[in-house]
Amino acid sequence: MQQNRSAYSELIKAEAKNLGFIFCGIAKAEFLEQEAPRLEAWLNKGMHGEMQYMENHFDKRLDPRLLVDGAKSVISLGLNYYTDNTQSDPLAPKISKYAYGQDYHTVIKDKLKQLLQIINEKIGEVGGRAFVDSAPVLDKAWAQKAGLGWIGKNTNLINQKTGSFFFLAELIIGLELEYDIEPTADHCGTCTRCIDACPTEAIVGPYVVDGSRCISYLTIELKNEIPQEFKGKMDDWMFGCDICQDVCPWNKFSVLHNEPAFHPHPELLHLNSNDLKEITEDIFQKVFKNSAVKRTKFSGLKRNINFLDR
């Protein structure tokens, strides 16, 4: 049986690589004992802001067996999105690299479905579910447990060989596998570049981010008006923010992605400052048709741009 587990695990990792994932690690589906008090304290301090969904399904967030019937293994996967493309107008409101191309939720979900289908075809019928940042799953905790990297002081998962510009996703399945039991050591050392660089002081201490102060939260998750205390501190970000990753020394090892779906819309990077300040709903629908930017809606993007301009 142990031989089968090993062979199945190798098969899954090989197929994940064929689908374009740069990482694949496997952990036993069990209660996340270390994460429980951290999550509870973070929520109690209100650091999730208006993200009420973070309070929901507390038990399921900490135990995948409550989320997926018969869960035995959590397969953590990473998909690279790093690009050296940049917006042509340095004065234009900025968009996070991850949103240059098609919405990662759709791209990754398709790949996960393919991987689950391959598992069913080559191993046998295995119950399971795919997760991409849209369910009560603690992606970074599982990725760390599966040996994909360590959680840095900016709370992003960092890998020594490729940095942190990658998406995380999971397959939680009812099959016992060989588990990666060697978590990666923390290699942040005494570095505080991410903490020092955050213009809204969202990284309130090493390994703790006050989500309600994060520019990504303010430009995407926050549905009400952006608080005036952040006026002049947004560093011209209109959707998301890359600052704490851009300054991270480990991202000098980032390699360019080779996922066609993540190539930017032909017009996106050429929208100048005036184009974006005067953007119409028609242009928004055209340029961001299949983009993660749709999440903030036209009204949200206009709010963000207007806030930067006031």
Strands, sheet with 23-28, edge to edge from the N-terminal-most edge strand? 23-28, 73-80, 166-173, 128-131
| Cα–Cα–Cα angle for 121, 63, 115, rounded to 5 degrees | 20
Instruction: Say how many residues make up the chain.
Output: 310
Query: What does the longest C-alpha to C-alpha distance in the chain come to?
Result: 65
Q: Report the alpha-carbon distance of residue 138 to residue 143 in Å, rounded.
A: 9
Whether 304 and 92 have beta carbons less than 8 Å apart is answered as no
Q: Which two tokens stand for residue 147?
A: 């040996």
H helix or E strand, kind and range, residue 75: strand 73-80
Pick from 7, 4, 8, 144: which is nearest to 78 by CA? Answer: 144
Q: Report the alpha-carbon distance of residue 284 to residue 173 in Å, rounded.
A: 39
Which residue carries 């309600």 as its tokens?
212
Give the CA distances from residue 173 to residues 3, 26, 114, 226, in Å, rounded to whole numbers and listed in that order. 19, 11, 14, 40
Pick from 131, 93, 92: which is nearest to 115 by CA? Answer: 131
Which residue carries 């704490």 as its tokens?
244
Judged by DSSP in three states, 257 sits in coil
Q: Which residues are identified as catalytic?
A: 133
241 burial type by CB count under 10 A (0-12 exposed, 13-18 middle, 19+ buried): buried
Whether 280 and 274 have beta carbons less than 8 Å apart is answered as no
Q: Which two tokens stand for residue 91?
A: 């004065």
